[in-house]
Amino acid sequence: MSATKPARTGAPAPATYPEPLLQPWSDAEHDAFLRDMYSNVWHRSYGTVDVAALMGISSIAVYFRMRRGTLPFAGFRIGNAWRFAKHDVHAWISEQEKSAA
């Protein structure tokens, strides 16, 4: 005697999924979140062009100095952008002014 599976009757019950806890963000909501999150960082830091203007050098020279490690203050990256804390830049400028006087 061979064992056979019992016959299936009826259609399978539809799958039910729980309600998601978080709804997906729209692009506008996501952009607003990122803008709020990074607004403090952007307002309290300078970009490479700003630093170059303050130091009196080209923005390419800022990148070269960062690579060689001869930039007098540290930078950090946000995405592809390099940023420099304003207080570090201003501290270096005031040191330069004091040593020149």
* Contact between 46 and 93 (Cβ < 8 Å): no
Query: For the chain, which residues make up each domain, given as ranges?
Result: 35-100
Residue 49: predicted pLDDT: 95
Tens digit of pLDDT for each residue in 1-32?
A: 556 666 666 666 667 766 666 667 788 887 88
Tens digit of pLDDT for each residue in 34-85?
A: 777 767 776 788 999 999 999 999 999 999 999 999 998 889 888 888 999 9
* Contact between 83 and 45 (Cβ < 8 Å): yes
Residue 33: predicted pLDDT: 77
Span 35-100 CATH architecture: Orthogonal Bundle (1.10)
How far apart CA 98 and CA 2 sit, in angstroms, is: 99
Tokens 């946000």 belong to residue: 78
